[in-house]
Amino acid sequence: MENQSPRLPEAMAVLVGHVGTARSIGVTGSPGVGKSTLVAALVGAYRDRGARVGVLAVDPSSPFTGGAVLGDRVRMQEHATDPGVFIRSMASRGHLGGLSWATPQALRVLDAAGFDVVVIETVGVGQSEVEVAGLADTTVVALAPGLGDGIQAAKAGVLEIADVFVVNKADRDGANQVVRDVTAMLRSAPTVPAPDSPGWTPPVLRTVAQTGDGVPALVDALDAHADWLTTSGRLVERRRQQARAEVEALAQADFVRAALSALTEEGVDALAEDVAAGRLDPYTAAARMLSACRDAQSV
Amino acid sequence: MENQSPRLPEAMAVLVGHVGTARSIGVTGSPGVGKSTLVAALVGAYRDRGARVGVLAVDPSSPFTGGAVLGDRVRMQEHATDPGVFIRSMASRGHLGGLSWATPQALRVLDAAGFDVVVIETVGVGQSEVEVAGLADTTVVALAPGLGDGIQAAKAGVLEIADVFVVNKADRDGANQVVRDVTAMLRSAPTVPAPDSPGWTPPVLRTVAQTGDGVPALVDALDAHADWLTTSGRLVERRRQQARAEVEALAQADFVRAALSALTEEGVDALAEDVAAGRLDPYTAAARMLSACRDAQSV
């Protein structure tokens, strides 16, 4: 799938009818909040209940994808040898929105393969935090004391995407302040509960993922959110939105491929060169791509 | 422009022939490295030379866009009242790749308006750091001691995008270690100098942006890179790539709009619902969007 095999559409067609049972949980937050340790703790908690757990790490700073604090690696290692756990790091880069099309498809594969819970870990700054909210049934925003930026990032937009807030490293100085800040933000936000989430106010929990403190309460909150999604009918709506984002991303990639094949690489480069040189405006160039793609079909 | 006025294409057409003289400098890095202070220091340095400077902040944790450390705000305030400086925060979120189409157009507007230097500040984690490299002529990757994740993020991909490394807060403990780590990474990386940048090895500089220490050397390095871009012919190539990414993003947005108008919102939602419910695979759904868009034209 990650190699974008030409037989991928065929594989996805085979999975039709075998998806829709896995729960997806997004975990996002700035580097340094301990997301990976938190994910490892969640994996352990769900394994204790007998669930099969998939982990998709789309965080470039994640130990799963690259450099790591040794402790985290060791911590995850125990899960790496557990046949009930599948861990995969996904490249978050690449053309045509890598995250937006590859992650939902990886989720679909794990879902069809019988995983009960799939945890998607992304770094929560900027665009990607919005994307993870579009991928997962439930989005956990992780914060930690001592990273002034946590709150700033929070202000910038996580209020709109968090179903559950976790203040991790809650045994450190400043944890209470982070909890107070987030709680105050939630109280004063005009959009909480969010217009599309009547009846759900994100809880603000404390964890020390390294020791497991607070993790059972987090699992309870995730269960409560899953129940709310089902009973409120929001699950159907969220999954439709997820699918729509995925289909649009795939259609856009198809479109660019079709336009490239109609115009040729050289033709597209020539358009780009005209724009760069100030001979053509980008909208006219874009319109030519669209009409080339359409004409190719009509011929 | 940010409101996506329907007259935007017309405005962009007017700018044709008036662009291409501004230098763009991307500054990226994790939250906490002091990007904004560094940007403010750069603005000061270019102002001292008499250059008009634009700043586009697409960092959700930036003081320009939201919450701020008071010191940073005060520091930037002096520039805010300077008619030779234009500062604009850009929303990094939104459908259809906000950053990818809006930022190059803002850059084009500032370029046509006679700004000599445009600094684009983005938070450097994940996708956005790759995007900024696609936007700017020269990309500065800022790191700082005491943020273990800096190096991890660096490992994950900044090697490929950095034209200049800056270790900011270089008066703090651990700065030497960060410099050593990055230098070692650069030495061992098979891709440095990058295949597309023969003859340019990214320097690793130290700054204390708050005091201005090291900023003149940074400006010198930026000048050296600008010279190299011109003499090596890479500038033309980079700008063509920038324009191509922008045109493709606009064409993709056009395509989705055309597909939506052909299929209707309800039609696209129905496709998404079929995918979500496991009745249809996403590739078939995407293919239907593409063919609906084409058919609409042929009618």
Q: What are A40-76's pLDDT values in tens digits?
A: 999 999 999 999 999 988 755 444 443 333 334 445 6
- In a 10 Å sphere around its CB, with 0-12 CB exposed, 13-18 middle and 19+ buried, how is residue A260 labelled? middle
B131 to chain A, closest Cα gap in Å: 9
pLDDT tens by residue, A87-141: 887 765 443 344 556 788 899 999 999 999 999 987 655 454 456 667 899 999 8
Specify the pLDDT at position A68: 34
**Which residues does chain A have within 8 Å of residue B128's beta carbon, measured at their own beta carbons?**
125-128
Q: Kindly report, residue by residue over B67-92, the tens digit of the pLDDT.
A: 333 334 445 667 777 889 998 877 65
Token digits for B149?
Answer: 């994740």
B128, B156 contact by CB (below 8 A): no
The answer to whether the CB of B247 falls within 8 A of the CB of B97 is no
A298 CB neighbours in chain B (<8 A) are: 294, 297-298
Shortest alpha-carbon distance between residue B217 and chain A (Å)? 28
d(CA B104, CA A216): 47
User: How many angstroms away from the CA of B211 is the closest CA of chain A?
Assistant: 21
pTM recorded for the entire structure? 0.78
What's the pLDDT at B155?
53
pLDDT band at A148; cut points 50, 70, 90:
low
Report pLDDT for B224: 97
How do residues A4-19 score in pLDDT, each as one tens digit?
788 989 999 999 989 9
- Look at residue B212 in the predicted model and tell me its pLDDT: 95
How many angstroms away from the CA of A238 is the closest CA of chain B? 9
- Look up tokens 């940007």; give the residue: B39
- B chain contacts of residue A90, beta-carbon cutoff 8 Å: none
Mutate which of B35, B95, B275 to test chain A, going by most A C-beta atoms within 10 A? B275
Q: Are B136 and B234 in contact (CB under 8 A)?
A: no
Q: In sequence order, which residues have a C-beta less than 8 Å from that of residue B298 and are 6 or more positions away?
A: A294, A297, A298
**pLDDT, tens digit (0-9, with 9 covering 90-100), for A46-56:** 999 999 999 98
Phi/psi zone of residue A177: left (φ > 0), alpha (ψ -120 to 50 degrees), beta? alpha
Flag if A126 and B125 touch (Cβ within 8 Å): yes
Contacts of B253 in chain A (CB under 8 A): 286
Distance between CA atoms of residues B158 and B181, nearest Å: 13
pLDDT of residue A64: 43
How many contacts, defined by CB atoms under 8 Å, are there between A and B?
Answer: 278
- The 10s digit of each residue's pLDDT in A211-260 is 999 999 999 999 999 999 999 999 999 999 889 988 988 898 889 889 98
User: Which residues in chain A are contacts of B298 at CB distance < 8 A?
Assistant: 294, 297-298
* Residue A156 clears pLDDT 70, i.e. is over it: no
Beta-carbon separation of B149 and A61 below 8 A: yes
Q: Which residues of chain B have pLDDT under 70?
A: 59-77, 91-101, 123-133, 147-159, 189-197, 297-299
Answer with the residue of higher pLDDT: A170 or B185: A170
Q: What does residue A282 show for φ and ψ, rounded to 5 degrees?
A: -65, -30
CATH number assigned to the domain with residue range A8-232, chosen from the 4 options 3.20.20.70, 3.90.1410.10, 3.60.21.10, 3.40.50.300 = 3.40.50.300
Hey, where are the domains in chain A? 8-232, 246-298
Report whether pLDDT(A298) > 60. Answer: no
Tokens representing B52 are 């008009």
Residues A272, B243: C-beta atoms closer than 8 Å: yes
State which residue of chain A sits closest to B93, comparing Cα positions: A127
